[in-house]
Chain A
Amino acid sequence: MRRPPGARLRGRCQALVLVGTLAIGSESLAASPAESADESAAFDQLLKLLAERRHDHVTFTEVQELAILDRPLRSSGELLYDAPDRLEKRTLEPRPEDLVLEHGMLSVERDHHRHSVSLRDFPQAVPYVESLRATLAGDRAAMARYFTVQFSGTLGSWTLALTPADAILKRSVQHILITGERDRIRTVQIRQSDGDTSTLTIGGEVGP
């Protein structure tokens, strides 16, 4: 079920939350020692390429492997991205849901009810949404705010390993692996601290 395009966020005025208040004290991202000079250059190039993309509209499938279940859970839908801080995840199957991150406000619409919260009020949700948003935006500073970032591979086939920087995040997330080719993200895998994983695989582009 497609959501009507007019479903916009109620949130406003929090525009600068992510870029503003949280930016304090994270000026630079020191290249990790394991990164070779080539990789470092490729990472810079990747971030540049990513930052140049203004708009994305793709399909996704997500597979979650939970220890409490005998078989994995699957869901699918579409991802929309508008640089630099609007990210929408429209899950169409099995349960329609619309998750929008915009200007630091996170809103979820489900069963015709929309709940919005400021990301600032829910710091525990920040790594989940910020890992993807910051990667899409090529926003090195935002990544560095929450994670230690390790780039490996080449521009044609790369992997970013994000490890939570702070102890509270570490309690829920072990690491996040993002793979891609040039400016296209292919997979986002989140391994939670309890061993459960979710893997988001990006599919083809959806025409306008």
Chain B
Amino acid sequence: MTRAGKAATLIWALGALLAAVIAARASYTADLSAFLPRRANAAQRLLVEQLREGPAAHLIIAAIGGADAATRAVVSRHMALQLRADPAFLAIDNGDTAQLERDREFLFEHRYLLSPRVSPQLFTPSGLHQAIGAALDVLASSAGPLAKPLFLRDPTLETLAIVESLDASRAPHTAAGVWSTPDGARALLLAHTRASGADIDGQQAACGAFENSFAAARAALPAAQRSALSFSMSGPPVLAVASRATIKSQVWRLSAVSAVAIAALLIAVYRSLPVLLLTLVPVASGALAGVAAVALGFPAVHGITLGFGVTLIGESVDYAIYFFTQRSSDFRRALWPTIRLGVLTSICGFAALLPSAFPGLSQLGLYSIAGLTAAALVTRFVLPAWLPRGLRMRDLSAAGSRLERLCVRLRAARGALLLVAILAAAVLYLHRGALWSRELAALSPIRAADLQRDEELRAAAGAPDTGYIVVAAAAERETTLQAAEAVSARLTPLVDRDVIGGFDSPTRFLPSLAAQEARRHSLPPANVLRMRLDEGLRGLPLSAARLEPFVSDVERARDGPLLQQADLGGSSLGLAVETLLVRGSAGWSALLPVSAHDAPDLPAAAIAQVRGAVASASVGAELLDLKREADRLYAGYLAEAVRLAIGGFIAIVLLLIVALRSPVRVARVVAPLALSVLTVAACFAALGHALTILHVVGMLLIVAVGSNYALFFDRAALHPEEGSAPLTLASLALANFATVIAFGVLACSSVPVLADLGATVAPGTLLALLFSAMLAPAVTRAVAAAAVE
């Protein structure tokens, strides 16, 4: 080994070690964060916080099926008991009547602080007369049995007013005393995890605890009942954990499948194990460098980025293939400049992704730049030093010659390319309206079947569909709650007018201290209340003496403390507050989910009225339409991705103009690439497959990979004396075959974003090679031979 070779090997070893350490210490994630913008406006930030930290992000819905309702209820209670003791959960709800009883007791106990009706007016003689008269009407109604036990202590029925203000229609059904699906076939448990939406490890632990507790509850049953029981769960934490697992296993499996397939291809072609192993060195180095670079540049490496690693195998293996297949030529002088230009064009393409606001894209850009640079450098400096003496390899000249003859025939048909271009342009023009997918969901790594099950369970559980949320934000908890109260006061008339179906607010169970203080202040002392009752009960069928329990309850509330958030503890009421009152980076936010009246979506007019009502409250609050906001976010990404891809394309063209110094050569290199992108896009359009960001990225990859092919054809035409045309052709065919394998495997992925990428690049690079061959100027063997002589 030469001194330079030794130095290169040492640098490579140190670099690989460093990269391995960085990669091993990096944190990996698979949540939605890759799809959320780094720079966002206020609404988008709220959206992102909602997706990651909002009430919905913590919710696990579990269903117990099989056996009979009583058995399911036993399991549900057993699990709830066990999971409530687990610190991984903020709360477990299974509709257990004992728990509802406790909640009701709490509301009853604190009714004079909680009820919005409590005011000085309520405790005047006429106020009491009216309220108690109305309560008597309730006693006479079908709600009488509910009201009767409370009446003497709560004759104005404040407790019922509070309970009725809850959106009761949303509560799940009940079977055998616990929540069940509407068809009664499965028992339901709802859990709120302590871990945030972004903490997948925490979510995974919570999911595991859930499954274990089901196993334990099942094991506690008599053997005969066990086998019939089934368990399933869903919710954002479950989906996030599942999608991370899917991505992990896919990344591992896809990489393994591509690596094995490419290795098999190389061994079949080269018939040499050392060559195969050496070919994999730049590939592995590149992958490692890519991961390390992303780990350094970002807080966490996203699983999807690793998925793209497979794509790197496809491209970085090309360098080694060029190196080995065209070994007869002088590598450093003849091949390296072309490879270097190829690497530079790829870097230009991927560098365009770096400034993307979409972290998934910028990670991909950085990963590819670092990976390709490392792979090329290893090919250039390390591989030559490691070549064993007397390495024997198959000569591919014969195969190359056959390819050359094929090329001549293909070139004869180059006129057809004009037709292809016109056809593709026509197809794209005809489908111009439906070309792009407009929904953020298009980027979701979650499988459709998982999503469907999630929707089913969510509907069954009546889980809040947080499509519309009014967010009231302020610096302190108290001011935030006051803002929420101001908004509530403006929203209530909209509910009464059926503009909206209802809304929720943390202040239902945790009013601001100011509001509580005002309510407490309106409670009269016992002797005053007795006198007012005497007057107020005139004409009503009961005397003040009977309401002595009411008088003493009011007296107690007058002296009692105000309600603090801690008093709610881990009750389901506390949970409601905890999910609706969140502490963010810049203070507190109260979330008021708004539901539509008799429909899943709010009509535009209702949205306008809600916005108006929120604005009129004159507090820092606004309505978030999550779905629209998310789609707008995605539309922004898409527009940006297209812009960046075009920018990358322009950068590549500029680079080629500088490097090749000939407009004709630049055109010859660029034309086949542009044509392949056009053709692939037209195919997707014709098949009715809407294009997503990943398709755009795929097209950029077609250009980056394909430019290598075009550059080699360009070199062969310009310097026929350098290297052998058949060997160049053979190496290009082999490199393309490897790329098609890598992306073809990706196209089979069950993760939609990876599949989109693979399905774009695999056919695209094949076309790029084909079109480059067709458009390359003819180099006959005679000319080449003459030049060599």
**Interface residues in chain A, defined as those with a beta carbon under 8 Å from any beta carbon in chain B:** 13, 21, 62, 64, 66, 68-75, 89, 91, 94-95, 97, 99, 108, 110, 112-113, 115-116, 118, 120-122, 124, 172, 196
Contacts and interface: CB of A to CB of B under 8 A. Distances in A.
Given A68-B151, A69-B542, A94 B144 contact: no
Given A95-B138, A120-B175, A120-B184, A68 B148 contact: yes
Contact of B542 (A21, A70, A95): A70
Contact of A70 (B141, B143, B184, B543): B543
Interface stretch (B166-174, B372-380, B465-473, B567-575): B166-174
Contact of B546 (A68, A74, A115, A122): A68
Interface in B565-617: none
Given A120-B184, A121-B173, A95 B141 contact: yes
Interface in B517-556: 541-543, 546
A120 B142 contact: no
A91 B148 contact: no
B3 to A, nearest CB: 83
Task: Give the 3 A-B CB pairs with smallest separation, nearest first.
Answer: A95-B137, A71-B541, A73-B140
A64 B142 contact: no
A124 B97 CA distance: 13
Contact of A94 (B140, B151, B152): B140
Nearest to A95: B137
B169 A116 contact: yes
A60 to B, nearest CB: 13
Contact of B152 (A62, A68, A112, A118): A68
A60 B139 CA distance: 17
A72 B184 contact: no
B541 A99 contact: no
A79 B141 CA distance: 14
Contacts of A172: 145
A68 B550 CA distance: 13
Interface in B132-171: 134, 136-145, 148, 151-152, 164, 168-169
A81 to B, nearest CB: 16
B139 A73 contact: yes
29 contacts: A64-B140, A66-B139, A66-B148, A69-B136, A69-B139, A69-B541, A70-B541, A70-B542, A71-B541, A71-B542, A75-B140, A94-B137, A94-B140, A95-B134, A95-B141, A99-B142, A108-B142, A108-B143, A110-B141, A112-B496, A115-B168, A118-B182, A120-B173, A120-B184, A121-B174, A122-B174, A124-B145, A172-B145, A196-B148
Nearest to A75: B140
Contact of A73 (B136, B152, B546): B136
Interface string B165-200: 000110001110000001010000000000000000
A95 B148 contact: no
Interface of B: 134, 136-145, 148, 151-152, 164, 168-169, 173-175, 182, 184, 496, 498, 541-543, 546
Contacts of B138: 95
A175 to B, nearest CB: 16
A120 B182 CA distance: 10
Contacts of A89: 142
Contacts of B145: 124, 172
Contacts of B543: 70
B326 to A, nearest CB: 71
Contacts of B139: 64, 66, 69, 73
Contacts of A69: 136, 139, 541-542, 546
Contacts of B175: 120-121
A44 to B, nearest CB: 32
Contacts of B546: 68-70
A62 B144 CA distance: 13
Contacts of B141: 75, 91, 95, 97, 110
A71 B168 CA distance: 33
Nearest to B177: A123
Nearest to A64: B140
Contact of B140 (A74, A115, A122): A74
A72 B168 contact: no
A15 B124 CA distance: 49
B494 to A, nearest CB: 13
A82 B163 CA distance: 32
A74 B152 CA distance: 19
A35 to B, nearest CB: 31
B142 A68 contact: no
A99 B140 CA distance: 13
Contacts of A74: 140
Given A91-B141, A120-B173, 10 more contacts: A62-B140, A64-B144, A68-B148, A68-B151, A97-B141, A110-B143, A112-B498, A116-B169, A118-B182, A122-B174
Contact of A118 (B136, B140, B142, B173): B173
